[in-house]
Amino acid sequence: ESGQKKPHVAVLASPGIGHVTPLLELAKRLVVDHGFHVTFLSITTDAPPAQLQLLSNPSLPSDLHVVSLPRVDVSKQPIGISVRIFLVVQETLKCLPFVLKNLQPPIKSLVVDPFCIEALEIAADLSIPTYVFMTSSASLLALTLYFPTINAEVNGDYSKIAEEVIVPGCKPLLLDDLVPGVLSPEVLPMCNRFPTVKGILVNTWEELEPVTLLSLRENLFFLGLPAPPVYPIGPLTKEDKPVTSTLESSRFLTWLDEQPVGSVVYISFGSGGTLSREQMIELAWGLELSQKRFVWVARPPNDSSVSGSFFKAGFNTDDPASYLPEGFLDRTRGRGLVTSSLAPQVAVLSYRSVAGFVTHCGWNSVLESVLHGVAMIAWPLYAEQRMNARFLVDVGVALWPEAEEDDGKRVVGRCEVERVVRTILEEEGEGVRRRVRELQGTAVKALEVYGSSNGSLEGLAKEWREA
Ligand code: UDP
C-alpha cells in the first residue's frame, strides 16, 4: 500500500528532547505497527542539537515525514523555560493553519504535546479532531485537569492553597512538590483547553498508576463537563541503539560491558538539568567516597539556574576537569567515566552492570529506568520533578537523598551521596531493586501485542482509520 492510500495523521511537538522523544516514538509505532502515514511537525526554534539529530535519523521509517516549521525570532530576554517554550510555540504556530490545510491526503487527526495548546484551536477551526499526548504522568494529567477548579476555589490566590492538594480519587500531593513550576497562572490556559480535546494519550500504563488512571476514567474532575477519554499507551521510550555513536559513547558502552553485574550507578539530570558549583563538588566527593563504579553526565555547573543547559543539549566540548574537584578524574580513573555531552542513556540503562540511576526524575528518564529495571536515586530539579520523585519513593523504586539547608540553598552533602549510592548497589537496596524489576515486568507486558498499552493505541488507531 502506498503512503498516499494509508490513513494520515499529524503529530506536533514543542521544542525539547523530553517532548520530541515520546511523540516521535508514537509516530513510529503508528507507522510501523498500525500502518499509518504520519507527518511529524517539528518546531526548530530553540531546538537543542540532540533534538535535531533525533529527527534527522536516517533509519526513521519511510512513511514518517518530518516537516520543520519555519523558525521564528523570539526575544532574547532570559525568561523561564516553560514561558519561553509557550512563546516559541505561539509564534511558530502562526503558520499552522496553512500547513494543516495543505497536508495531503487530509489528516484524520492531530496529536500534540501539552505545550502546543494553540494548535488545538487552529485544528478545531479546520474541523480536525485533536488529541493531546501527555508526556508526563497520569498524576500530572489529573492535576492539570483539576487545576482550574483549584484556581476557582482560591480565587486565583495561590497562597490559599492547602499544604496537601487533593485531586478527587487520587493520592494527595504536597504543595511543596508542586511549586514553583507546576501550579502557576501561566499554565491555566493549557489546563482549560485539555478537556476540549477528543482524547488524551498518556505515557504511562495501568500497573504504574492504577489509582490515578481509575479516577481519570471515572471522570471525577470535570464537575459536569464531558471528559475526553484517557488512553494509557506507555511506556513509549527511545530504542536502545543510540542515534549516532560517537567515539566517546562507544567507549562508555564497551566499558559498561566489562563491569560486574549490578555494580555501576549512572548519573544524569536530563537534557537540561544543571547543578550549582557547590552541589557538583559534593556529588563528586560522594561518588569518590562511595568507592563505587559510575558513569556521570556532568554538564558545566550553573549557579543561577537548575535548567541551565536545556536549549544546548547536545555534544559539548567542555572539559569536566575544569569544574570537578582537583584530581577527581585521576583518583577515580578506571572506576568512573565522566562526560559533559549527553550519554546514550537508554543504551546505558540496558547494561546489566548498571543497577542505579541518579536522576532528575524527568518522566522520560523515569520510564526508561523502569523499563530497564534500574532502581533510582531521586534528584529532582525543576518542573514537576519533585512530584515524580515523591511518586517513585511511594511506589518503592527510588531513594531520595536528604538535602541540607545552607544559606537558603538546598545541598545534598557528600556523606549523604555516599550513603545512597552504596545503598542502591548493596544489600540494603535489594527491596528497591526487586520492586523496580516487578514493575519492569508489567511495563514489558503492557507493550506486548495483547498488552494494555498496545491495546489502547490499537483502539485509537482503529478510531482514526475509520474516521
Ligand atoms: N538523555 C540522554 N542522555 C543524557 C540525558 C538525557 O539520552 O545524558 C535523554 C533521555 O534518555 C530522555 C531525555 O533525554 O529520553 C530526557 O527526558 P526527560 O523527560 O527525562 O527529561 P528532560 O530533559 O525533558 O528534563
Give me the amino acid identity at 326.
E
Query: Residue 317: its pLDDT value, please?
Result: 75
- pLDDT at res. 239: 84
Active site residue: 19, 34, 37, 372, which one?
19
Q: Which atom of ligand 1 is nearest to the CA of 359?
A: 20
Cα of 306 from ligand 1 centre, angstroms: 15
Q: Which residues does a 6 A CB cutoff place in the pocket of ligand 1? A: 16-18, 21, 238, 268, 270-272, 297, 342-343, 345-346, 362-365, 368
65 has which bridge partners?
Answer: 39
CA 344 to ligand 1: nearest atom: 7
Q: How far apart are CA 298 and CA 307, in angstroms?
A: 13
CA angle, residues 404, 407, 411, in degrees to nearest 5: 30
**Residue 318 cell numbers, joined:** 567542555
Q: Reply yes or no: is the peptide bond before residue 210 cis, omega within 30 of 0.
A: no
CA nearest ligand 1 atom 6, residue: 270
Over residues 238-253, the pLDDT tens digits come to 987 776 778 888 999 9
For residue 46, what pLDDT is reported? 86
Catalytic residue (choose from 37, 46, 63, 113): 113
Burial class (CB in 10 A: 0-12, 13-18, 19+), 335: middle
Question: CA-CA distances (angstroms) from residue 205 to 12, 312, 457?
Answer: 22, 31, 12
3-state secondary structure of 6: coil
Type of residue numbered 249: S
Query: CA-CA distance, 77 to 80, in Å (whole number)?
Result: 10
Ligand 1 site-directed mutation target among 17, 266, 369, most atoms within 8 Å of CB: 17
Task: Write down the pLDDT at residue 306.
Answer: 87
Residue 115 corresponds to which amino acid?
Answer: F
Closest atom of ligand 1 to 16 CA is 24
CA distances from 145 to 177, 216, 388 (A): 18, 9, 17
* 344 Cα–ligand 1 center, Å: 9
Query: What is the 406 CA–ligand 1 centroid distance (Å)?
Result: 29
Handedness of CA 374, 378, 379, 382 (dihedral sign): positive
Q: Are 111 and 132 in contact (CB under 8 A)?
A: yes
Cell 498508576 maps to which residue? 209
Secondary structure element (H or E) that encloses residue 95, with its range? none
Helix, strand counts (H, E) of the chain = 18, 17
Q: How far is the CA of 343 from the centre of ligand 1 (A)?
A: 9
ipTM of the complex: 0.99
Distance from Cα 89 to the centre of ligand 1, integer Å: 21
Q: How far, in whole angstroms, is CA 160 from its chain's centroid?
A: 30
- Cell triple for 261: 553485574
Q: Tell me the three-class secondary structure of the chain, residue by residue.
A: CCCCCCCEEEEEECCCHHHHHHHHHHHHHHHHCCCCEEEEEEECCCCCHHHHHHHCCCCCCCCEEEEEECCCCCCCCCCCHHHHHHHHHHHHHHHHHHHHHCCCCCCCCEEECHHHHHHHHHHHHCCCCEEEEECCCHHHHHHHHHHHHHHHHCCCCHHHCCCEECCCCCCCEEHHHHCCCCCCHHHHHHHHHHHHCCEEEECCCCCCCHHHHHHHHCCCCCCCCCCCCEEECCCCCCCCCCCCCCHHHHHHHHHHHHCCCCCEEEEECCCCCCCCHHHHHHHHHHHHHHCCEEEEECCCCCCCCCCCCHHHCCCCCCCHHHCCCCCHHHHCCCCEEEECCCCCHHHHHCCCCEEEEEECCCHHHHHHHHHCCCEEEECCCCCCHHHHHHHHHHHCCEECCCCEEECCEEECCHHHHHHHHHHHHCHHHHHHHHHHHHHHHHHHHHHCCCCHHHHHHHHHHHHHHHC
Q: What gap in Å lies between CA 240 and CA 351, rounded to an integer? A: 10
Task: Provide the pLDDT for residue 185.
Answer: 87
pLDDT at 225: 62
Grid cell digits, residue 55: 529527527
**Is 8 assigned a catalytic role?**
no
Q: What is the pLDDT of residue 249?
A: 87
Q: What is the pLDDT of residues 275-319, one digit of tens each?
A: 999 999 999 999 999 999 999 999 999 998 888 776 666 666 789
pLDDT in tens, the chain (467 residues): 555 689 999 999 999 999 999 999 999 999 999 999 999 999 998 888 889 999 999 999 999 999 999 999 887 766 777 788 888 999 999 999 999 999 999 999 999 999 998 999 999 999 999 999 999 999 999 999 999 989 999 998 988 999 999 998 899 999 999 987 789 888 898 899 998 899 999 999 999 999 999 989 886 655 556 679 999 999 999 987 776 778 888 999 999 999 999 999 999 999 989 999 999 999 999 999 999 999 999 999 999 888 877 666 666 678 999 999 999 999 999 999 999 989 999 999 999 999 999 999 999 999 999 999 999 999 999 999 999 999 999 999 999 999 998 787 899 999 999 999 999 999 999 999 999 999 999 999 999 999 999 999 999 999 999 98
| Ligand 1 center to 3 CA (angstroms) | 32
**The C-alpha cell of 144 is what?**
492539570
CA 238–ligand 1 middle distance (angstroms): 10
Closest ligand 1 atom to residue 307 Cα is 25
Q: Is 19 annotated in the active site?
A: yes
Q: Which residues have C-beta within 8 Å of that of residue 77, sequence separation ≥ 6?
A: none
